[in-house]
Chain A
Amino acid sequence: MNSSEPLSPGDQATATEPATNAKSAGHSRRVFLFKLSLFLNGAVGAVLAVPIVGYLLGPAVRKGSNEDSWIKLGPLGDFPEGETRLVNFRNPVTTPWDGQTGDIPCWVRHISGNDFQVFAINCAHLGCPVRWFAQSKLYLCPCHGGAYYEDGSRASGPPERGLFEYEHRIVAGSLMISAGKMPTLAARNCGQPKLTQIQPNSTSTEANFTEPRRDEVTQSKDPQSRKSSWPA
């Protein structure tokens, strides 16, 4: 305590002032550094977000490449003329742990000669599996009672369009379809009228002729990808 006695009040003031000055200078420096660190973390966060968002959106941005490819359903002899049969195929895109879910059924209608129609199993309403009734020539959906005629056009119930149809062709005596993606309204609405009116079945042959033509138009836009998706 003795040593402090000589100090006058004025000396004390001059001694503490630089201290508070230094403290406040240090404070403003630290505030600046803290803001800098916030900015730095923001920048790192933004960089970090790129791979995370990219990973998350991965399944949605693969849009460019066509997920459908050509699959062999079987020799033409398997499909008697005038009949509609359930055929299963292994989806071209699967993971090793997909199990049974990678097997997809579809309805093959052999009209006559080389005239076929291949329908997706999924009701155009909400995707439930439709069942074919040969006697009444109707597809019926168990979920909400959607009904379709033998040519896939809407007969009654809540669906707003006919059954989804796979593109098909006949190669070396075998029926092949272009499949790979679950058909939904978003994936397959391709310019069809939104609401198919209830119509008599007589239009079936007409629908038959228009379907492939539309497919050809969509194919001709991108012949390269079509070729690459041909099986060897």
Chain B
Amino acid sequence: MASLKKRAIDVYNWFEQRLGLGAPAIEAAEHEVPSNTSSWWYVFGSAATVILVLQVMTGILLALVYSPSASHAWSSLEFLDHNVRLGWFLRAMHGWGSDFMIAIVLIHLTQVFLFGAYKFPRELTWIIGVFLLLLTLGMAFTGQVLRFDQDAYWGLGIGASIVSRVPFVGGALVDLMLGGPIIAGPALSRFFTLHVFVIPGILLALVGLHLWMVLRLGINDWPMPGRLVNKKTYVQEYHKLAEQTGIPFVPDAAWKDAIFSAAIILAIMACAAWFGPFGPTGQPDPTIIQTAPKPDFAFLWIYAVLAYLPPSLETPVLFIAPVLVIGGMLLLPLVSGEGEKHWSRRPVAVLMVAVIAVTLGAFTSLAMYTPWSPIMNAWTSDPIPIADLKDRTPLEREGALVLQNKQCRNCHSIGGAGGMRGPALDTVASHMTEDQIIRQVLQGGGNMPAYGNALNPAETTALVHFLLTLRGGNLSPAIDASRKLVSSTEQSPSQVPPKMSAPGGP
């Protein structure tokens, strides 16, 4: 046994004499870190790195089967799911790994921001971290394209349409993005190259730099309220702290990283096993237009923002907002590289995190049920509630038919069923008079198309009569207050002029 151990040490020494990597690696692993950095809050960076390794591994394994050609990509995914042993599980791990990686990277970024870790001397570590976030999102988008299904095809269309709005060079950029006149083989090859070679290469190199800087500058010490960062004294103070309270990173601090990473990998495997792989949805055949494309989870909020921006603001916001946001993130450590680190003394920082989180969450949850999209089959699938047809005249029932046939239900709900693009019609007659309904139906307005050309007078009459019965049970019908005035004027015209002039008089 002892001789075996000695043999092993001899072999190690043989390599070490030639490579010389073991000693510096052990030294780096055992370097002293302030004991207060051994915290469960400091485990996200290492977890993101471990997921990256998982993504590289599963990605290489998927590439063994995947065919990056427009005509076969979709069927090779189906083949992976159904014909390759455990292919579905590898796809699921890669997909869930992507979602987990974005989540962990965002949590890591938030933690670093709230702990003031971006301040001197770790400004560049933060700046490279911002690029790592963008590259991670780039991997997610290009990966979604490689899942070459309907969502990927039309997602590329959305991407091309956004790029085409760039002033002056938009057309050329679309050509560069697609590699050809339409979304087809060359576009997929480009995104394959980006996803498999270009972005991972840059990502791995920058992760290396990021880690090197963490080693060189030390892990950010746990912030204390009132302990300000000063460029002149910080490095000295940090070294003093590391000397006084130092513990070797491995094993005294690293065990938490290791346990968290293992838990995350287990969570990814559990999600992959339980929920399975993402898609592929329908095949990427543009002639199948019965589809409602949607981006992956990480980009749902953008999809929602694009629905709510007014047309005139859309292009400016699309290109100015990202520059401001990314520019602000990059400049943050240069602008506020000193001072307070603790979140309890940085209310603006905490407020920003809260506002951004709530905003992203709200837009994401909206994009989960897309209230702005018409429900294309509501007019044939959602019936009118029986209560709304009971004891109605034939004309009113005819109006209910018109309402269904003219696809009003695609945008308007009745009895909780139907589209949400327009207001629900259950109580329409309690807040709109007959005249107002007629005007709204025929001329549209307020984001409703005009139906003047799609309805003949008989249909309009029937439809309006049906709508007038929709008063949410027994609410009183809407009345036009000015009508009263007009009718009273007609009855006694002499009384009106003094009444009218009284409030308007000087």
Contact = CB atoms under 8 A, between A and B. Distances in A.
Interface of A: 56-57, 59-63, 67, 86, 88, 91, 93-95, 97-105, 121-122, 125-131, 133, 135-138, 140, 142-145, 147, 149-150, 155-160, 180-182, 184-187, 194-195, 198, 200-202, 204
Nearest to A68: B181
Contacts of A100: 70-71, 283-287
Q: Main secondary structure on chain B at its contact with chain A?
A: loop
Interface string B403-433: 0011110110000000001000000000000
A86 B408 CA distance: 22
Contacts of B161: 122, 125-127, 184-185
Interface of B: 69-72, 153-154, 157-158, 160-162, 164-166, 170-176, 178-186, 283-287, 289-293, 303, 306-307, 309-312, 314, 372-374, 376, 379, 405-408, 410-411, 421, 443-445, 447-454
Contacts of B72: 97, 99
A129 B172 contact: no
A203 to B, nearest CB: 11
Contact of B449 (A60, A149, A181): A149
Given A100-B286, A143-B293, A159-B311, A133 B158 contact: no
A158 B182 CA distance: 23
Nearest to A121: B289
Given A156-B444, A186-B173, 11 more contacts: A67-B181, A99-B72, A131-B376, A136-B406, A144-B306, A156-B447, A160-B311, A182-B178, A185-B170, A201-B453, A202-B453
B181 A97 contact: no
A62 B70 CA distance: 22
Given A102-B184, A184-B160, A201-B450, A97 B170 contact: no
A195 B405 contact: no
A187 B164 CA distance: 8
8 contacts: A93-B181, A94-B184, A97-B69, A105-B286, A143-B154, A149-B453, A186-B165, A187-B174
A110 to B, nearest CB: 17
B307 A144 contact: yes
A131 B184 contact: no
Contacts of A56: 176
Contacts of A184: 160-161, 164, 170-171, 174
Given A122-B157, A155-B450, A136 B176 contact: no
A198 to B, nearest CB: 6
CB-based closest 9 A-B pairs: A99-B71, A184-B164, A127-B157, A155-B449, A186-B170, A186-B164, A186-B171, A201-B453, A129-B289
Nearest to B290: A131
A101 B443 contact: no
A185 B172 CA distance: 12
Given A125-B161, A187-B171, A101 B183 contact: yes
Contacts of B174: 182, 184, 186-187
Given A126-B306, A156-B448, A180-B181, A142 B374 contact: yes
B177 to A, nearest CB: 9
A15 to B, nearest CB: 39
B299 to A, nearest CB: 13
Contact of B451 (A95, A130, A136, A159): A136
Contacts of B449: 136, 138, 147, 149, 155-156, 198
A135 B291 contact: no
Contacts, number: 222
Contacts of A126: 157-158, 161-162, 306
Contacts of A202: 453
B374 A145 contact: yes
Contacts of A140: 374, 376, 410
B453 A143 contact: no
Contact of A144 (B186, B372, B443, B452): B372
A182 B174 CA distance: 10
Contact of A101 (B285, B303, B450): B285
A101 B306 contact: no
A180 B184 CA distance: 12
A137 B459 CA distance: 14
Contacts of A185: 161, 164-165, 170
Nearest to A151: B453
A110 B142 CA distance: 40
Nearest to B373: A145
A201 B452 CA distance: 8
A9 B318 CA distance: 80
A204 B443 CA distance: 15
A32 B410 CA distance: 77
Contacts of A61: 172
B71 A97 contact: yes
Which of A93, A101, A194, A202 has the largest count of B CB atoms less than 10 A from its CB?
A101
A145 B372 contact: yes
A99 B188 CA distance: 12
A137 B451 CA distance: 8
A30 B405 CA distance: 87
A195 B162 CA distance: 17
A104 B287 CA distance: 6
Contacts of B408: 136
A200 B443 contact: yes
Contact of A59 (B176, B283, B285): B176
Given A93-B181, A131-B376, A156-B448, A105 B289 contact: yes
B186 A133 contact: no
Contacts of B452: 200-201
B439 to A, nearest CB: 12
A99 B373 contact: no
A133 to B, nearest CB: 5
Contacts of B184: 91, 94-95, 98, 101-102
Contacts of B286: 100-101, 103-105, 121, 129
A150 B453 contact: yes
B284 A158 contact: no
Given A128-B157, A143-B293, A185-B164, A95 B185 contact: yes
Contacts of A128: 154, 157-158, 293
Contacts of A60: 172-173, 175-176
A122 B293 CA distance: 13
B71 A86 contact: no
A202 to B, nearest CB: 8
Which of B72, B157, B170, B306 has the largest count of A CB atoms less than 10 A from its CB?
B157
A93 B180 contact: yes
